[in-house]
Amino acid sequence: MPHSNIDPRTRTRAKRLRRELTKAETAMWSMLRDLRPLGARFRRETPIGPYIADFAWLSARIVVEVDGDSHETDHGRKHDQRRDTFMRSQGFTILRFDNLQVLDGPDYVFITIEQHVSPFLHMEPAP
């Protein structure tokens, strides 16, 4: 009996996406890892129900999305809206950034994320 309600195809796709991060996703992962000493535990390409979050801190219920060009189409926007509605119904806060924001304005992106996750952080790094 499966120990998870995640469809095996979704899980397999998430594993593939973890191996194929875009340049912007790699930069975001680096930013999120900088929060690890303060207690942040983000995961890459994490299945949540039928969807895959680019980055998720499950216990804090925070999802960070890095959007490329495919999100700017009608189909992409509708998919994002369905996914966001589902994730919000599961108690998640979604932070969404496009590739250019991550690559060209990392300070803004980091500060925005830090503001949202600060209630969950230990402000002094663990020894």
Residue 125: inside a domain, yes or no?
no
Q: If phi over 0 gives left and psi between -120 and 50 gives alpha, with beta otherwise, what is residue 45?
A: left
| Rounded-to-integer distance, Cα 97 and Cα 95, Å | 7
**For the chain, which residues score pLDDT lower than 70?**
1-4, 6, 8, 10-19, 69-73, 75, 123-127
Domain range for residue 78?
A: 8-120
Span 28-59, pLDDT tens digits: 999 999 999 999 999 988 888 889 899 999 99
Within-domain flag for 2: no
Does 127 map to a domain? Answer: no
Tell me how many domains the chain contains: 1
95 assigned to some structural domain: yes
CATH for 40? 3.40.960.10
